[in-house]
A and B are shown apart, each in its own frame.
Chain A
Amino acid sequence: MSGGKWPRRLQLAVLAALASIMLAGCGSDYVVLNPKGPVAQTQYDLIMISIILCSIIIIPVIALTAFIVYRYRDTPNNKATYKPNWAHSTKLEVIWWSIPIVIIAILGYFTVRDTYALKENPNKEVQPMVIQVTSLDWKWLFTYPEQNIATVNYLQIPAGVPVQFQISAEAPMNSFWVPELGGQIYAMAGMTTELYLQADHPGEFQGRGANFTGEGFAHMQFNVKATSQDEFDQWVKEVKGTTPAMSKEDYEQLRKPGLSEVLTYSSFPEGLFEEIVSKYSHGHPMETGGSMHDSMHMDGDKKESAPGSEAGEKKDESAHSTHHMPNTAMTPVMSH
């Protein structure tokens, strides 16, 4: 082990690894680095800003490490200065307390700016469309309140239109994520979270659940298809005309643990999503997510369900008991 040379090799390895990630970022498999909408674009820009700012620290520090370790190695012929008691320099310490402070200040500015920005509709010129998302064990239910249609494990949206996703769950907490369109947000029972996404152009994107929900979690993937507004309207019409309506019983069936095919419904029971949310929100305004608009919206629902709280509780009981599913109650896809 000849001392001194290896950190430099290590440094090269790290740089090469980083570089290959960056270069490979051009490949379309790197979905996070190939934003297809304004939200993902904002996040991509932030990722790049933070990589650059971090590199300002990483590269000199690693180079300095390599230099110092090589220069001050303890070998007989090394003529480098040796000052065993030199252990303090106010000037130097002020410098390296302030470098990270400056970097953090710059990064903090961008972070705070975009944290607020992403709460808003990313495309102010267009009225957002609403889609309600429910995470079930182990499938995604999408209800379109404006079109009154529903899909399972498949999402179709018009390109160029911001979509406001209202997200909840009737299952363990999941996270709704379409990396090419933007970052994820949790799906939690009894609450609605809100996420704006927009696809700039027609295309197909992969969506998935990102927070572990148990046995079938890895199979909670879905396709997102963005089309032109016309095609989208056409598709809605088609769904209305050719697919079955979803009944209450269909939903009860759907929420039982298991996997599901892609399904499409020409309608869904009125207020289904609101009912799913209020079933677990116990009459408390306890959602963590959502804007003022959204929480007012939810309060309205609660007022409706509050007087009939006895019935509501009974429903809770039945929900409770049906969840006592043995883990073996899986569709054949899962068992080997």
Chain B
Amino acid sequence: MWESLKEFASWFFVTGDPLIYGAMVSIALTMVAIVFVLTKYKKWGWLWREWLTTVDHKRIGIMYLIASLLMLFRGGVDALLMRVQLAFPNLEFLHSDHYNAIFTTHGTIMILFMAMPMMFGLFNMVVPLQLGARDVAYPFLNAVSFWLFMFGAMLFNLSFVIGGSPDAGWLSYPPLSQNDFSPGPGQNFWIWGIQISGIGSLATGINFIVTILKMRAPGMKLMKMPMFSWSVFSSCVMIILAFPILTVTIALLYLDRFAGAHFFTMDGGGNPMMYLNLIWMWGHPEVYIVVVPAFGIFSEVVATFAKKKLFGYTSMVAAVMGIAILSFFTWAHHFFTMGTSANVIAFFAITTMLIAIPTGVKIFNWLFTMYRGKISFKQPMMWTIAFIPCFVVGGATGVMLSVAPADYQYHNSYFLIAHFHQVLIGGVVFGYLAGIYYWWPKLFGFKLDEKLGAWGFWLWNIGFYVCFMPQYALGFMGMTRRYYTYGWDLGWEPLNLVSTVGAFLMGAGFVFQVWQITYSIKHGERDTTGDPWNGRTLEWSIPSPAPFYNFAVVPQVKELDDFWRVKEEKANGTYKEEPVHLEPIHMPKNSGLPFIMSVCWFIAGFGFVWEWTWMAVIGMVGVALVMWARSFQYDTDYYVPVDEVRRTEASLGRVY
């Protein structure tokens, strides 16, 4: 009995590596500490009522943000481990298996469990406020989305200590990701972690499209909608078109692994190239899904901190929607080297280059928003200004990569690695950080400390160039991605060492940002006006932090940048005060079902990962039961009485 238990444990848990034992101990200690604190301060009820069951888009946004910062930490640690291993030739810090697992989880986490939730966090924190809405279109579904993401991410991260991490690359190309070459549960963790959170992403896409189309304040025509909301719309259109492809593709991959199907196998009639095509039909739009909202953020930030209207609003809208369409016609540029006919390659090279046009236009529009403005260098603006040169260079190397015959020399080399990190860090990370600094006061009621933020900013920026510029050069030296080691004879060592130093500078930047947040909770400048940056859009017209119903009175919109118009009219005395009368506010009720349903998904996912059918069945039955229970729930909403609204507003310093 004891022996078979021991045998099970050594197969079930990841064993044999001191790094992982350390991680296990720290995970266990953290869990014990959390349980202890919650019990000691009697916070279990609070946790359940205020957070686990919430359908408030702002709280869901905050939870997304916290989760994504934790994932940024883990993905970042993965990156640093890789950079240590590559700092010198023939280093034996990590061996091949471990290194392969780390670059796989780094990529998967950074895109799917860091960028996506950080983006969804910003959608949730901002879009309803910007539209003058009281919540998203489907608040219950919004909570389902969040918890599916959360449990998907937890399932994926579990592979670190149980069963073993996936190690076939962040897109798990078959045949390498098939049973023949990657036996064991690692790849299944990859499939089911993404599958479960992917359902949530798709639902979020639907939710925000409907929110944007149906929930705008009266008078806000589509062409009077703030640019960030437009970018969210573009991103969500791509989500609902792209994510079903991902779901189907990795479901088929799972059938190959679990049921012995032959969709993508090397033998038995399977076609691995089909997988490459399908995964990039999702994967290429995916990078635009995450970068387009960053463009929206830059647009808001630039207009606010240059104190000037966004230049070329109409062509900006055309550009983000154009990108949404073009993004579906470029996928094959991820494998120009597949040896297909020149016609196919030429087609995808040209479509890829075309994307540079709307992207370039946006850069000029931001520049000319600043032109003849009055630029103040607050943190959101610093990140935006830093973004422009970084993204211009990253975009240009992207154009270089689209030159197909030249791509045969760049493909899978560090030139490619440097390029996509430059657009993803320079575009997505800088953008989301700008957004977080910008909207932080609206969510939490205080600003983040400027001085610590400046440390973070400069360390990130200098670190970025020190880390990734040498990687372009390493690409020209023929260094291939996913090498866990290299020899002395290739001349790669000096630049690799420099790159590692840069990575640690960025890591130090992150530490400063965490310090900045914890410091500012106590000492940050409080925002009592609700409009700390002299903003232009509706979210700045309400108090900070926003009350749970957002708007006591739904605003009437006349112009783009409507709040700016109101402020101007008030300043020059032309503002006509309309008589306001408060009405009871219709709000959704909290529900524990999204959480419970996602727990069931987690159980099912765990069963699928280990191919324990009984467990998967139990989980799926649970999911079905929750859906069934929900369909009989009629008591899902309520009205906030006028008195309570008046009292809440008064406590926030607004009298009605």
Give me the interface of A with B, judged by CB distance under 8 Å. 1, 3-4, 7, 10-11, 13-14, 17-18, 20-21, 24-25, 27, 29-33, 40, 42-43, 46-47, 50-51, 53-55, 57-58, 61-62, 64-65, 68-69, 72-74, 78, 80-89, 92-93, 96-97, 99-101, 104, 107-108, 110-112, 114-119, 137, 167, 172-173, 175, 177, 179, 182-186, 188-191, 193-195, 206, 208-218, 279-280, 282, 284, 286, 288-290, 316, 319-320, 323-324, 326-327, 334-336
Contact = CB atoms under 8 A, between A and B. Distances in A.
Nearest to B370: A68
A288 B335 CA distance: 12
A111 B339 contact: no
A68 B367 contact: yes
A96 B364 contact: yes
B388 A72 contact: no
Interface in B461-495: 461, 465, 469, 472-473, 475-478, 480-486, 490-492
Given A212-B412, A218-B484, 18 more contacts: A10-B386, A21-B469, A46-B403, A47-B409, A68-B367, A68-B370, A72-B375, A92-B364, A96-B364, A117-B405, A173-B175, A179-B478, A191-B339, A210-B480, A214-B181, A280-B266, A289-B340, A320-B267
A108 B353 contact: yes
A216 B179 CA distance: 18
B636 interface: no
Interface stretch (B269-277, B550-558, B587-595): B269-277
Contact of A42 (B313, B364, B400, B405): B405
B476 A25 contact: yes
Contacts of A172: 173-176, 181, 266
B312 A29 contact: no
A58 B486 CA distance: 33
Given A57-B396, A68-B367, A24 B473 contact: yes
B411 interface: yes
B385 A69 contact: yes
Nearest to A189: B266
B490 A206 contact: yes
7 contacts: A29-B492, A65-B389, A93-B315, A104-B354, A172-B175, A189-B272, A210-B412
B176 A175 contact: no
Interface string B381-403: 01001101100110011011011
B309 interface: yes
Nearest to B396: A54
B236 interface: no
Contact of B476 (A33, A54, A186, A191): A33
B338 A186 contact: yes
Interface of B: 92, 95-97, 100, 167-169, 173-176, 179-183, 266-269, 271-273, 306-315, 335, 337-342, 345-346, 349-350, 353-354, 356-357, 360-361, 363-365, 367-377, 382, 385-386, 388-389, 392-393, 396-397, 399-400, 402-413, 454, 461, 465, 469, 472-473, 475-478, 480-486, 490-492
B339 A86 contact: no
A217 B482 contact: yes
Contacts of A87: 308-313, 369
B339 A185 contact: yes
Contacts of A326: 183
Given A73-B375, A100-B356, A108 B406 contact: no
A173 B173 contact: yes
Nearest to A45: B406
A50 B176 contact: no
B413 A210 contact: yes
Most buried by B among A10, A100, A116, A320: A100
A137 to B, nearest CB: 8
A73 B377 contact: yes
Nearest to B411: A184
B412 A323 contact: no
A189 B266 CA distance: 7
A336 B92 CA distance: 7
A296 to B, nearest CB: 15
Given A47-B406, A50-B400, A323-B180, A69 B269 contact: no
Contact of B350 (A72, A108, A167, A173): A108
Given A65-B367, A84-B309, A319-B267, A3 B346 contact: no
Nearest to A42: B405
Contact of B180 (A99, A191, A212, A320): A320
Contacts of A185: 337-339, 408
Contacts of A93: 312, 315, 361, 365
Given A173-B176, A182-B408, A58 B393 contact: yes
Contact of A10 (B369, B389, B405, B482): B389
Contact of A184 (B372, B376, B408, B481): B408
Contacts of B407: 183
Contacts of B335: 186
B482 A14 contact: no
A238 B461 CA distance: 58
Contacts of B309: 84-87
Contacts of A289: 338-340
Contact of B374 (A72, A183, A335): A72
A175 B373 contact: no
B267 to A, nearest CB: 5
Contacts of B267: 279-280, 282, 316, 319-320
Contact of B478 (A42, A206, A319): A206
Contact of A32 (B461, B477, B486): B477
Contact of B389 (A14, A100, A186, A194): A14
B499 to A, nearest CB: 12
B94 to A, nearest CB: 9
A111 B400 CA distance: 10
A285 to B, nearest CB: 13
Contact of A288 (B92, B338, B403, B484): B338
B272 to A, nearest CB: 6
Contacts of A7: 385-386, 389
Contacts of B365: 93
Contacts of A175: 337, 411-412
Nearest to A112: B346
List 6 tightest A-B contacts by C-beta distance, closest first.
A183-B408, A289-B339, A193-B339, A29-B491, A172-B176, A87-B309
